[in-house]
A and B are shown apart, each in its own frame.
Chain A
Amino acid sequence: MTIKEAQEEIIDEFSMFDDWMQRYEYIIELGKSLPLIDEKYQVEENLIKGCQSQVWLHAEEREGKIYFTANSDAILTKGIIAILIRVFSGQTAVNITAANLDFIDEIGLKEHLSPTRANGLVSMIKQIKMYALAYQAKS
């Protein structure tokens, strides 16, 4: 699945919800089902500190693709991490670097990526892109 396809699939899922509460309940569900990050990766050097909630992000490359695992101490942040991982994990560095994130706005979650939220997500996306750039530079 391409990044674009993954995004469209997510937009599709969210279009079924009538109000914010259903959307949030779904995000909470996604947060709960986010695969656990390997404990050895939940360490200081993988920590993205937000004022409100924190994010741990680990990246590894296999056969030209980058795989991400992540965690957060807040469940809503975790739910959005699950969405971002679905979009970015298993993609090539070139595609990750080129991807835009307009779909976040379309599913009504733009406010979570606002700097005032200080939940580590903005830095997480930056970090995902940085990893991709670094792998691109290496190859």
Chain B
Amino acid sequence: MLDIKAIRQDFPILSREVNGKPLVYFDNAATAQKPKVVEEAIKNYYETINANIHRGVHTLSQLATDAYEESRLKIQQHVNAKHSHEIIFTAGTTFGINLVANGFGTLLKEGDEVIVSALEHHSNIVPWQFACERSGAKLRVIPMNLEGELILSEYDTLLSEKTKVVAITHISNALGTINPIKEIIIKAHAVGAAVLVDGAQATPHIKPDVIDLDCEFYVFSGHKICGPTGTGILYGKEEWLNKLPPYQGGGEMIKQVTFEKTTYACLPHKFEAGTPNISGGIVLGHAIDYLNGIGFDNIAAYEKELLDYGTARLLEIDGLKIYGTAKEKTSVISFNIANIHPYDIGVIVDKLGVAVRTGHHCTQPIMDFFEIPGTIRASFSFYNTKEEIDILVEAVKKAQTMLS
């Protein structure tokens, strides 16, 4: 059992007011709030060890480098990677996907195929469209059913020896669907394809095990797991990271530079050109410690409770329809109210202190599938409460009355 009251004390922002009302923050799928330990770690870094890393002999540089590499080890353990050099610090999920897709742009050739799914965020579609345009490869899409679940029999028919990459989200940001990722990976491997898993929405709820999943790449963002913005992780299997060309050129990523030819540094530095987000990388480790302190099993169990409660309460509202009713889903509820535009609801509930996301959630193909302009999305985190869900329900009812 989590002590939610105590946990909420860790997040100063949760006690602020918005528009004269207590803040109810239900936009966790967009970004998570930060606990005090994260804020303190940022401050502590700048006040005690700020220096550039991997290149100074002086003490501060050594301390900063140690802290940065310690964080890498922590993240390696967290995702259960075999080697720490398989953990690449990035600026976020989008950056990680672009790094990998850009690399594949040079490895793919005409006739090859890349498979994505109907549930992807634009960030896991557009970089692959670039790679396909550059290489002449073809993009194929696993369709979904009305519940928002991928149709795996269709996936089977898409897979062939032409399939070189399957890029798939672990959990849908718009609908909350948890994909049967392990099965998808096993099937991709059976035809020799590499798999990139977009873990942006999964990592706040699940501790990924990349050895068990056996995916070639797993990417996620720091800011969605209580870490700083502008941080992220790309996990890649050593042999695949060696196979991919460098993404950006600059300092740190080189072994030797002459004007004739440059040779690249070993992993992970090959993909970490320039001075990285040092403080961000270090503090991300603290955020992961914080979440592990609460425990992902506890988080999952409590968020399931919130999801069930929120679903039941919202369905009491006349004319409310939930999009994304997969059997396996995380604490995301995407919904609309009959004859009312999601934007209008979003604006009114904001006036009542409730922060939800409205719009297409960077997943226009999903909205097109349901033939809607967008949805209202409430996404719950472990620091939310049932009382807050009650406030959301009352706010939506109020908006409905005003707008009908």
| A residues lining the B interface (CB < 8 Å) | 20-21, 24-25, 28, 51-54, 73-77, 112, 118-119
Q: Give 1 or 0 for each of B187-199: 1 = CB within 8 Å of chain A CB.
A: 0000000000000
Q: A28-B403, A52-B346, A75-B340 are in contact. List 14 more A-B contacts (CB 8 A).
A: A20-B19, A21-B351, A24-B351, A52-B343, A52-B358, A52-B359, A73-B341, A73-B373, A74-B343, A74-B344, A75-B341, A75-B344, A76-B347, A77-B343
Partner of B402, one of A21, A51, A52, A74: A21
A-B contacts, 10 listed (Cβ < 8 Å): A21-B402, A24-B348, A24-B402, A28-B403, A52-B343, A52-B374, A53-B373, A75-B403, A76-B347, A112-B347
Residue of B nearest to A118 (CB): B359
B344: chain A residues at CB < 8 Å are: 74-76
Q: Please, how many angstroms separate the alpha-carbon atoms of A112 and B351 in the complex? A: 12
Give the size category of B's interface with A: 10 to 19
In the complex the two chains form, what is the Cα distance from A20 to B349 in whole Å? 12
Residues of B within 8 A of A (CB): 19, 340-344, 346-348, 351, 358-360, 373-374, 402-403
Contact among B343, B348, B402, B403 for A119, CB-based, below 8 A: B343
Measured in the bound complex, the distance between the Cα atoms of B401 and A28 in whole Å is 11
Measured between beta carbons, the chain B residues less than 8 angstroms from A75 are: 340-341, 344, 403
A118 cross-chain contacts in B, Cβ below 8 A: 359
By a CB distance below 8 angstroms, the chain A residues around B342 are 52
CA distance A75 to B402 in the complex (A): 11
CA distance A24 to B344 in the complex (A): 10
A-B contact count (CB 8 A): 39
What's the Cα separation between A28 and B358 when bound, in Å?
19
Cα A112 to Cα B358 with chains together (Å):
14
Q: In the docked arrangement, what's the CA distance between A76 and B358, Å? A: 14
The interface residues of chain B lying within 8 Å CB-to-CB of A112 are 347
Docked Cα-Cα span, A28 to B347, in Å, equals 12
Separation in Å of the A55 CB from the closest CB of chain B?
Answer: 11
B366 to chain A, nearest CB (A): 15
Please provide the 8 A-B residue pairs with the shortest distance between their CB atoms, ordered closest to farther. Answer: A74-B341, A74-B343, A52-B343, A53-B343, A52-B359, A76-B344, A74-B344, A75-B344
Q: In the complex the two chains form, is B348's CB within 8 Å of A53's CB?
A: no
A51 adjacent to B373 (CB under 8 Å)? no
Task: Give the shortest distance, in Å, between A102 (CB) and chain B (any CB).
Answer: 22
Contacts of A54 in B (CB 8 A): 373
Per the bound structure, the CA–CA distance linking A112 and B341 in Å amounts to: 15
Residues on the B chain within 8 Å of A74, using CB = 341, 343-344
Residues of A within 8 A of B346 (CB): 52
Q: Write the nearest CB–CB distance from B83 to chain A, whole angstroms.
A: 41
Q: Considering the chains assembled together, what is the distance between the CA atoms of A73 and B360 in angstroms?
A: 14
Whether the pair A76, B343 counts as a contact (CB closer than 8 A) is yes
Find the A residue at minimum CB distance from B20. Answer: A20
CB distance from B270 to the nearest CB of A (A): 36
Q: How far is the CB of B159 from chain A (nearest CB, A)?
A: 34
The docked-state distance in angstroms from the alpha carbon of A68 to that of B351 is: 30
Provide the bound-state CA to CA distance between A63 and B120, in Å. Answer: 52
User: Which A residue sits closest to B358, measured CB to CB?
Assistant: A52
Most chain B beta carbons < 10 A, residue from A28, A74, A118: A74
How long is the Cα–Cα vector from A77 to B374 in the complex, in angstroms?
15
CB of A20 within 8 A of CB of B341, answer no
Q: Which residues of the partner chain A approach B348 to less than 8 Å between Cβ atoms?
A: 24
Interfacial chain B residues near A53, Cβ < 8 Å: 341, 343, 373
Q: Looking across the interface, which residue of chain A has its beta carbon closest to that of B373?
A: A73
Q: A108 → chain B, closest Cβ, in Å?
A: 11
* Complex alpha-carbon distance, A119 and B341, angstroms: 12
In the assembly, what is the distance between CA of A119 and CA of B402, in Å?
19
- C-alpha gap A41/B402 in the complex (Å): 29
